[in-house]
A and B are shown apart, each in its own frame.
Chain A
Amino acid sequence: MNLLVATDRSFDSCLKCTACSSSCPVAAVLPDFPGPKQCGPDGERLRLKSRDFLDVALKYCTGCKRCEVACPSDVQISDIIAQAKVKYGEDKFRLREFLLSHTDLMGALTRGSADLVNKLTGTSVVKFAMDKTLGIDRRRQFPAYARQSFRSWYKQVEEKQHIYARQISYFHGCYVNFNAPELGQDLVTVLNAMDIGVKLLAKEKCCGVPLVANGFHKKARSHAEFNTRACHTALKQGSECIVSTSSSCAHMLREDYPAMLGQSEQQVHEHIIFITRFLSHEFQLGNKPEMKPVRLKVGYHSPCHLIRSRGVLHTLNILREIPGLELHQLDSNCCGIAGTYGFKKENYTTSQEIGQPLFDQIEAGEFDYIVTDCETCKMQIEMSTSLQVLHPVTLLAMGMSRGK
């Protein structure tokens, strides 16, 4: 996302074909959203003339990037819209945006009081209060905070990691650290089984996805600088690469940091890899852990940003290697949550309407589990359907521990 660089001129190559508008999940459910063509290339032309042309409807865009995937002419539509929101929009500081976007801070604050926070955010009183005072929709379920953070669990296995000849670093992100340490544990299991040791960065900050989405650009940039330095050090100290189990963090670190920080650190960013891409390459080279059959019927949901960063192939590749697994690819359909977007009261209905076809398909499919790479997709699907959602790495780990 070229948020902090000069104006993107890619709108000049727009062919007016409307392919983008036909694939926009928001336009499909919101009659008053003019759609990517009008908000992106068409609107930009006008906005360059006068900011009076700024359309308030821009705020409905979720940044899913499905328009960019559809565009035959490589117009960076979603980036143009995101830029316009920053450049011409009011920079309001709002508590809700602050709370939703400072995922690392929130995680740190709840440390030691996870049970209490989980209970509180689950109660209707608190939900009602958040709804009324903050504009966070009360129908939302919040991700539960774990009692022990991933980092503190990791200390138990840190010593053992040195016995492996190969070392890689893991950018766990806020979600694994505070909400889903078991996913991080599964990753260690899988990589160790492949004879690879797992290190953590000396320290990491939130990748910045929620900060950018909520308008905290300066902060996002400072996080980008911090994380880039940490990755750089890790590489110097012998890590082959840095992997992430979150498709959004990985996209941010790999694709968006270079644009935010300039190309100088590109070599660092090229070494940041989404986990299924790493595993798919290893498997292909013959480094595949032994797995027992996992006799489950699962539906795979591809997150929008993973589609955009061309990662669907890699996830399918590794899932197809799990013996016994009955794998069905779900229709490519946005789940509607789009990070923090769906948490906001004004977006709740839109968010659920966008996801409805996906939820229907999931309920009809008689699956044991749904599999997806993204933590916010997981939250959305678990809240809106009766199924539990697993990460691909967790399924791999299941194949290793079965029958042990």
Chain B
Amino acid sequence: MNYDCLVIGGGLAGLTTGIRCAEAGLNVAVISSGESALTFSSGEIDVLGTDLSGRAVQNPFTALESLVQHQPDHPYAHVGTGNVAKSLDWFQREIAEAGLPMVTSGGLWDNHWRLTAAGALRPSWLSQQSAGALPWGLENIQRVVFVSFTGFLDFMPELAAAGLKTHPVFQQAEVQSLNIELPLEHGRGATADTMRAPQLARAIGESDVELICTRLLEQVNDADLVALPACLSAGRKNWLTVLRRRTGLRLVEVATMPPSVPGIRMLSALKRRLTAVGGFMIPAMPVITGDVSYGHVASVQTPDDELHAKQYVLASGSFFSKGLKSHAAGEISEPVFGLDIDVPETLSGQSFLVPEGHGFNRAGVRVNVQLQPSLNGTVIENLHVAGSVLAGYDPVIEGSGGGVAISTGWMAANEVIKKVALP
């Protein structure tokens, strides 16, 4: 009943570790207590969006070189720039195998832009096809239309349009919003205002798509870019491809307020991949504590069982996922093992938007270059740590959340595979 590897946490990092271990033939289970950050995310993978001087990053791998030189404790520094690129290539192949192809920009090493529901542009590395990776040079995009469906509350085209207008490139551009009232063929009489994106997706039928098509051709057929809430590609049919074909317009989907269709789509693809390559997923199971002595995890405890494995990976996420806990006295802890924590001095500094980032986000588990943590100063040899529970980076300011989760999850798996292979 023993496992080669137990992964604690089923988010992007934990699933990455699980998939890679299972593919290497290891007996692996991913144990997870709740939803992961992916459910709320845009479903795109950012590697590095902002450099140290606060500028948007066009070539993330060049910018990484300089980032890791300045921040030797950054998780990317532990993984190494070359390995970050390797892990992302691997990830792109895996997720395509699971039926969710993702694309990079046309330029070999360039980021592309992804559009947010607030009308902001973020540099991103891997995008789902529905988001239609916008190329780095934006000059050709001079007429943008944000479209939504009357009553739908989780995507506000007016807000998005106003947001985009504040972007330097779009100050002279024509940015509009358009609301289309849909009959909602499969809506069973309910209206869009009570629906979340996944429901709206199911309520749309041929007649709705016909109407959207007509309105787009009549009203915005000269637009360079048309952005819609991410739900068309998740319907009974991929309506987005249908619309792209019928209108000939550049249509992109934007992740709405959560629940986010593309985020959930990525999560299910990864879970599917894990079990397809022979891994196991243990849902709804919190790991309460771990038994560590002399730098070795002997077992971990769930509410009912003591579980044993040769190797363990902690990928329990940040504060919201309860991988980290903050206490009244301003202290921060890692609740499962009580691992040593790095807390930046500027913790949640005076101002919320300090240029060097919100100290809170940089707090987390301190690890060595093999991603091993320590407990009271003693390194734990059969435990590795991956994803947003790690210290030393700020996913929000840097735009690096997805890239760090994947590359550290991939590297933790490599370490585990090496060790399990040893006699």
- B152 to chain A minimum Cβ distance, whole angstroms, is 12
Which residues B296-330 have CB closer than 8 A to chain A? 302-305, 307, 320-322
Instruction: Report the interface size class on chain A.
Output: 35 or more
- Decide if the interface of chain A is mainly helix, strand, loop or mixed: helix
Cβ of B275 within 8 Å of any chain A Cβ, yes or no, is yes
Cα–Cα, bound, A69→B35 (Å): 8
Which residues B273-293 have CB closer than 8 A to chain A? 275-276, 278, 280-285
The one of B1, B40, B257, B275 in contact with A284, judged by C-beta atoms closer than 8 angstroms, is B1
Contact B275 A31 (CB under 8 A): no
Cβ of A23 within 8 Å of any chain B Cβ, yes or no, is yes
Cα–Cα, bound, A313→B300 (Å): 14
Which residues B12-65 have CB closer than 8 A to chain A? 29, 31, 34-35, 39-40
Cβ of B414 within 8 Å of any chain A Cβ, yes or no, is no
Cβ of B194 within 8 Å of any chain A Cβ, yes or no, is yes
Contact A277 B304 (CB under 8 A): yes
B275 to A, closest residue via Cβ: A329
Chain B contacts of A280 at CB under 8 A? Answer: 1, 305
Cα–Cα, bound, A117→B410 (Å): 58
**Binding stretch for chain B, among A153-161, A203-211, A315-323:** A315-323
Cα–Cα, bound, A328→B187 (Å): 36
- Knowing A19-B34, A27-B199 are in contact, say whether A313-B285 is a contact too (CB < 8 A): yes
**Binding stretch for chain B, among A178-186, A219-227, A302-310, A370-378:** A302-310
- Knowing A28-B199, A28-B202, A320-B1 are in contact, say whether A69-B283 is a contact too (CB < 8 A): yes
The one of A70, A308, A320, A331 in contact with B268, judged by C-beta atoms closer than 8 angstroms, is A331
Cβ of A330 within 8 Å of any chain B Cβ, yes or no, is yes
Chain B contacts of A317 at CB under 8 A? Answer: 1
Cβ of B344 within 8 Å of any chain A Cβ, yes or no, is no
- B155 to chain A minimum Cβ distance, whole angstroms, is 14
Contact A22 B1 (CB under 8 A): no
Tally of A-B Cβ pairs under 8 angstroms = 111
Cβ of B264 within 8 Å of any chain A Cβ, yes or no, is yes
Cβ of A352 within 8 Å of any chain B Cβ, yes or no, is no
Cβ of B423 within 8 Å of any chain A Cβ, yes or no, is no
Instruction: Report the interface size class on chain B.
Output: 35 or more
Chain B contacts of A33 at CB under 8 A? Answer: 199
A365 to B, closest residue via Cβ: B276
Chain B contacts of A314 at CB under 8 A? Answer: 305
Mask, A3-25, CB within 8 Å of B = 1, is 00000000000000111011100
Contact B190 A72 (CB under 8 A): no
Chain A contacts of B188 at CB under 8 A? Answer: 30-32
Chain A contacts of B320 at CB under 8 A? Answer: 72
Cα–Cα, bound, A84→B99 (Å): 41
Cβ of B118 within 8 Å of any chain A Cβ, yes or no, is no
Cα–Cα, bound, A23→B198 (Å): 10
Mask, B173-184, CB within 8 Å of A = 1, is 000000000001
Chain B contacts of A21 at CB under 8 A? Answer: 196, 259
Cβ of B366 within 8 Å of any chain A Cβ, yes or no, is no
The one of A17, A22, A32, A328 in contact with B198, judged by C-beta atoms closer than 8 angstroms, is A22
Contact A72 B35 (CB under 8 A): yes
A333 to B, closest residue via Cβ: B268
Cβ of A197 within 8 Å of any chain B Cβ, yes or no, is no
Cα–Cα, bound, A307→B281 (Å): 11
Cβ of B271 within 8 Å of any chain A Cβ, yes or no, is yes
Contact A313 B268 (CB under 8 A): no
Cα–Cα, bound, A17→B282 (Å): 23
Cα–Cα, bound, A310→B307 (Å): 14
Cβ of A283 within 8 Å of any chain B Cβ, yes or no, is yes
- A368 to chain B minimum Cβ distance, whole angstroms, is 17
The one of B200, B281, B304 in contact with A332, judged by C-beta atoms closer than 8 angstroms, is B281
CB-based closest 10 A-B pairs: A22-B259, A32-B190, A31-B203, A19-B35, A329-B275, A69-B284, A32-B188, A31-B187, A70-B35, A31-B199
Given contacts A27-B199, A302-B283, A331-B271, 17 further A-B contacts (CB under 8 A): A18-B257, A18-B259, A19-B34, A21-B196, A21-B259, A30-B199, A31-B200, A70-B34, A70-B35, A72-B321, A280-B1, A307-B283, A310-B284, A313-B305, A329-B275, A331-B275, A332-B271
A-B residue pairs in contact (CB < 8 Å), sample of 27 = A18-B196, A21-B196, A21-B259, A22-B260, A27-B198, A30-B199, A31-B184, A31-B195, A31-B200, A32-B194, A35-B196, A38-B194, A69-B284, A71-B34, A72-B321, A72-B322, A283-B1, A284-B1, A310-B284, A310-B285, A310-B303, A310-B304, A313-B29, A313-B31, A316-B29, A316-B280, A328-B276
